Chains A and B, each alone.
Chain A
Amino acid sequence: MPTVSVKRDLLFHALGRTYTDEEFDELCFEFGLELDEITSEKDIISREQGDTKAEGASDVILYKIDVPANRYDLLCLEGLVRGLQVFKQKMEAPRYRRVSPVSSEPQRLVITEETTAVRPHAVAAVLRNITFTQERYDSFIELQEKLHQNVCRKRTLVAIGTHDLDTISGPFTYTAKPPGDIRFKPLNQAKEYTAQELMSLYKTDSHLRHYLHIIEDKPVYPVIYDSNGIVLSMPPIINGDHSKISLNTKNVFIECTATDLTKAKIVLDMMVTMFFQATELAYRKETLSADFINRKVGISESTEHIAQLLTKMCLRSEVMSDGEQIEVEIPPTRSDVIHACDIMEDAAMAYGFNNIPRTTPRTYTVANQLPLNKLSELLRQDLAAAGFTEALTFALCSQEDIADKLLKNISETRACHISNPKTAEFQVARTTLLSGLLKTVAANRKMPLPLRLFEISDVVLKDETKDVGARNNRRLCAVYYNKSPGFEVIHGLMDRVMQLLEVKPGQGNGYHIQAADDSTFFPGRCAEIFARGKSIGRLGVLHPDVINRFELTMPCSALDIDIEPFM
Chain B
Amino acid sequence: FSPAQETLLQRVEKVDGGLDSQDVATSLGVDHQAIVGAVKSLQALGDVISAEQRSSKHWELTGEGCEIAEQGSHEARVVSSIPKEGMPQSQLMKLAFGKVGFSKAMSNKWIRLDKGHEGGPRIFKTVERLEDLVRDKLLLVQKGQASQLEEKEKNELKKRKLLSEVTVKSYWITKGSCFSTTITKQETELTPEMIASGSWKEKKFKPYNFEAMGVAPDCGHLHPLMKVRTQFRQIFLEMGFTEMPTNNFIESSFWNFDSLFQPQQHPARDQHDTFFLSDPAQAHEFPQDYLERVRKVHSEGGFGSQGYKYDWKIEEAQKNILRTHTTAVSARMLYKLAQQEKFTPVKYFSIDRVFRNETLDATHLAEFHQIEGVVADYGLTLGDLMGILHQFFNKLGITKLRFKPAYNPYTEPSMEVFSYHEGTVLNNGFLRCRSELTI
Contact = CB atoms under 8 A, between A and B. Distances in A.
Interface of A: 29, 31-32, 34, 68-71, 153, 157, 260, 262, 295-299, 336, 338-342, 344-345, 348-349, 353-354, 356-361, 363-370, 372-373, 377, 380-381, 383-392, 394-396, 416-422, 426, 429, 452, 454, 458, 460, 462, 466-472, 474
Contact of B248 (A29, A365, A396, A471): A471
B200 interface: no
B249 A395 contact: yes
A9 to B, nearest CB: 26
Given A71-B407, A469-B283, A469-B284, A360 B391 contact: yes
Contacts of B218: 387
The winner among B226, B303, B382 for most chain A CB atoms within 10 A is B382
Contacts of A344: 412-413
Nearest to B286: A467
17 contacts: A298-B383, A341-B412, A348-B413, A360-B387, A369-B243, A372-B245, A384-B219, A384-B220, A390-B221, A390-B222, A394-B366, A396-B367, A418-B277, A419-B277, A468-B250, A469-B250, A469-B320
A336 to B, nearest CB: 8
A469 B278 CA distance: 12
Nearest to B353: A395
B192 interface: no
B375 interface: yes
A341 B250 CA distance: 31
Contact of B265 (A260, A353, A384): A260
Given A69-B407, A368-B243, A360 B353 contact: no
Contact of A392 (B225, B283, B380, B381): B225
A418 B271 CA distance: 11
B249 A429 contact: yes
A341 B413 contact: yes
Interface stretch (B45-53, B64-72, B148-156, B306-314): B306-314
B220 A383 contact: yes
B249 A467 contact: no
Nearest to A28: B404
Q: Could you say which of A262, A299, A377, A470 has the most chain B C-beta atoms within 10 Å of its C-beta?
A: A470
Interface stretch (B124-132, B165-173, B202-210, B233-241): B233-241
B388 interface: yes
Given A361-B387, A367-B240, A389-B221, A418 B275 contact: yes
Interface centre among B239, B322, B391 (most CB of A within 10 A): B322
Interface string B376-403: 0101111110111011000000000011
B359 interface: yes
A426 to B, nearest CB: 6
A262 B306 CA distance: 12
B220 A419 contact: no
A464 B3 CA distance: 87
Given A68-B406, A467-B283, A458 B265 contact: no
A472 B271 contact: no
A307 to B, nearest CB: 19
B181 interface: no
Contact of A262 (B271, B310, B322, B357): B310
Interface in B354-381: 355, 357, 359, 366-367, 375, 377, 379-381
Interface in B70-118: none
Interface string B53-65: 0000000000000
B308 to A, nearest CB: 7
